[in-house]
A and B are shown apart, each in its own frame.
Chain A
Amino acid sequence: MSKPKLALYWASSCGGCEIAVLGLHEKILDVAEAFDIVFWPCVMDFKYEDVEAMEDGEIDVCLFNGAIRNDENAHLAHLLRRKSKVMVAFGSCAFGGSMPGLANFNDREQMFNYIYHDSPSTDNPDGIVPQQRTDMPEGELVLPNFWNTVKTLAQVVPVDYYLPGCPPEASSIETAVTAIVSGELPPPGSVIGPDITVCDECPREKHEKKISRFYRPQEIIPDPDTCLLEQGLFCAGIATRSGCGARCPQVGVGCRGCYGPNEGVYDHGAKIMTGIASVLDADTPEEVEAILDTLPDPAGYFYRFHMPDSLLRRTARTNGKKLLASEQVAASEL
């Protein structure tokens, strides 16, 4: 019997997910043993044409990491979806948008202005910015269109399974690979992994939580045995799926929320928000506000990994000026 065909792709991502696959160490050999790897641009030399030449549904499993923020990401998402029987959103970016998704706190124009003109480390006296189309003697060069709003994989193509994590822990990848190899998969649309929270796996002692201010990590040295949130350190573990083994809180860093929401949650940020609000030791709006003054950028904390996947998906377009959809598209042409 021929081996099942496996494809791995990175869209808008940092490369950490690729490293996580290699982090399987010698188990990677089992993967190579069990699968015929037909596409993995990070590691082996493949061209997009190789994928285009395949039959539809020829790939058995595609592990797709990275968010979708430009035409090229979307093109590959559609192409690999067509060619693959099972599409797995691999890692937090493909699942919820993650770090690239934080771009949804800005408009594309705002970002480009900052990156190419205003940031303190930018030296660009001629004001050169990337052009989507450039005429050269050899012909026209075209860059993929950069979107105003980052999307998750599932917002672009249908996804069969989700594997959260930034990056997914080796144990989570193993669970997924084993499930795929054995064919013992959960119902389509599921997140592969346990439906428990980080607090469930965190060994720190928990008491009644009442805090009168937040601390930033550099401001205190936390007690090694007590819940970090009780000590005023922001921790998203109360409303974040585990599977990671609560690794961050165990080394004194509050959970960032990378495994995303638990089953049935519409909006990861809203759940973290509720959890955090319930520990504030305050009864009047004034007292509450005073505590919240010690928590800068709350939306950034709540939506760190699931901004594009949240109910609101992004912030309002600049200046409250609302363009019609057609005008927006035109305005987003470089």
Chain B
Amino acid sequence: MSENGTFKPVIVGFLCNWCSYRAADLAGTSRMGYPATLRDIRIMCTGRLDPTFVLRALEKGADGVLIMGCHPGQCHYQEGNYKAIRRFALLKRTLRQFGIEEERVQLHWASAAEGVEFAKTVAKMTEEITALGPLEWSRNWPNEDPHIYAEEAAHE
């Protein structure tokens, strides 16, 4: 949430070092405007992306996760992004079963020259998640243990 009460999503980005992270740099050095919703984390390759990273981001309060890497066929480790495609498909099906909207976790490609693409992707995803509203995952399991209530009450 921003100060004035309007919802501004937090998107965690996992960007591969060789293409998409450079696309982000290019967007920055070319002073392209895009929403300040992305918290980017550099990974060496989308092949390094363990689904655990995505789940942990959502669990810790992210409203969405954006994974970006080199275009298929252009991965600097040759096969990393194909691995990402397979994992992502399985992760997406799993998240659907958890009741998490498809737009919240996305996989895109941007080469080091595609600063514009990068900025557009972030802007579009920000729009989509703003429309969905906050995820606030931990609200799904409020504390039901009466003992802990009692302990908390005793502390107050």
B89 and A292 contact, CB distance less than 8 A? yes
Chain A stretch 205-255: residues in CB contact (< 8 A) with chain B: none
B142 and A325 contact, CB distance less than 8 A? yes
Q: A273-B90, A277-B89, A298-B90 are in contact. Are A311 and B144 (CB under 8 A)?
A: no
A314 and B145 contact, CB distance less than 8 A? no
Chain B stretch 97-156: residues in CB contact (< 8 A) with chain A: 97-101, 136-137, 139-147
User: Which residues of chain B are near A145, meaning CB under 8 Å?
Assistant: 144, 146
Rounded to whole Å, the gap between the CB of B107 and the closest CB of chain A is 9
Question: Interface digits, B45-76 against A, CB 8 Å rule (1 contact, 0 not)?
Answer: 00000111001101100000000000010000
In the assembled complex, A202 has its CB within 8 A of some CB on chain B: no
Interface centre among A71, A278, A316, A317 (most CB of B within 10 A): A316
User: Which residues of chain B are near A282, meaning CB under 8 Å?
Assistant: 86
A267 and B55 contact, CB distance less than 8 A? yes
Q: Which of A29-37, A120-128, A283-291 contacts B (4 or more CB under 8 A)?
A: A283-291
Q: A273-B87, A312-B59 are in contact. Are A147 and B144 (CB under 8 A)?
A: yes
A273 and B56 contact, CB distance less than 8 A? no
B142 and A266 contact, CB distance less than 8 A? no
Question: Interface digits, A9-46 against B, CB 8 Å rule (1 contact, 0 not)?
Answer: 00000000000000000000000000000000000000
B interface, size bucket: 20 to 34
Q: A298-B93, A316-B100 are in contact. Are A266 and B140 (CB under 8 A)?
A: no
B86 and A329 contact, CB distance less than 8 A? no
In the assembled complex, B83 has its CB within 8 A of some CB on chain A: yes
A interface, size bucket: 35 or more
User: Which residues of chain B are near A269, meaning CB under 8 Å?
Assistant: 94
CA–CA, A276 and B51, complex, Å: 12
CA–CA, A273 and B143, complex, Å: 29
Q: Binding site of B, secondary structure by majority: helix, strand, loop or mixed?
A: helix
In the assembled complex, A131 has its CB within 8 A of some CB on chain B: no
Q: A273-B51, A278-B83, A292-B90 are in contact. Are A313 and B145 (CB under 8 A)?
A: no
Rounded to whole Å, the gap between the CB of B86 and the closest CB of chain A is 4
In the assembled complex, B26 has its CB within 8 A of some CB on chain A: no
B89 and A285 contact, CB distance less than 8 A? yes
B87 and A277 contact, CB distance less than 8 A? yes
User: Which residues of chain B are near A302, meaning CB under 8 Å?
Assistant: 94
CA–CA, A313 and B136, complex, Å: 13
In the assembled complex, B82 has its CB within 8 A of some CB on chain A: yes
From A270, A277, A289, A325, give the contact of B139 (CB < 8 A): A325
In the assembled complex, B44 has its CB within 8 A of some CB on chain A: no
User: Which residues of chain B are near A313, meaning CB under 8 Å?
Assistant: 59, 140-141
From B55, B56, B99, give the contact of A316 (CB < 8 A): B99
CA–CA, A148 and B140, complex, Å: 10
User: Which residues of chain B are near A185, meaning CB under 8 Å?
Assistant: none
A322 and B136 contact, CB distance less than 8 A? yes
Residue of B nearest to A313 (CB): B141
Q: A156-B145, A292-B89 are in contact. Are A297 and B97 (CB under 8 A)?
A: yes
User: Which residues of chain B are near A68, meaning CB under 8 Å?
Assistant: 145
Q: A74-B146, A316-B99 are in contact. Are A283 and B89 (CB under 8 A)?
A: no
From B58, B89, B141, B147, give the contact of A289 (CB < 8 A): B89
CA–CA, A68 and B145, complex, Å: 10
From A75, A149, A267, A288, give the contact of B89 (CB < 8 A): A288
From B87, B99, B101, B142, give the contact of A329 (CB < 8 A): B142
User: Which residues of chain A are near B85, meaning CB under 8 Å?
Assistant: 283-285, 288
B52 and A277 contact, CB distance less than 8 A? no
CA–CA, A271 and B91, complex, Å: 11
CA–CA, A288 and B86, complex, Å: 6
Rounded to whole Å, the gap between the CB of B94 and the closest CB of chain A is 5
B52 and A271 contact, CB distance less than 8 A? yes
Residue of A nearest to B52 (CB): A270
CA–CA, A274 and B140, complex, Å: 25
B98 and A299 contact, CB distance less than 8 A? yes
- List residues of chain B with CB under 8 Å of any chain A CB: 50-52, 55-56, 58-59, 72, 82-83, 85-87, 89-91, 93-94, 97-101, 136-137, 139-147
List 12 interface pairs A-B (beta carbons < 8 Å), by A numbering.
A145-B144, A277-B89, A288-B89, A292-B89, A298-B93, A298-B97, A299-B97, A311-B58, A312-B55, A313-B140, A322-B139, A329-B142
**Other A-B pairs beyond A283-B85, A288-B89, A315-B140, 16, CB < 8 Å:** A148-B141, A270-B50, A271-B50, A273-B51, A274-B50, A274-B51, A274-B87, A277-B86, A277-B87, A277-B90, A302-B94, A312-B59, A316-B98, A316-B99, A316-B100, A323-B139
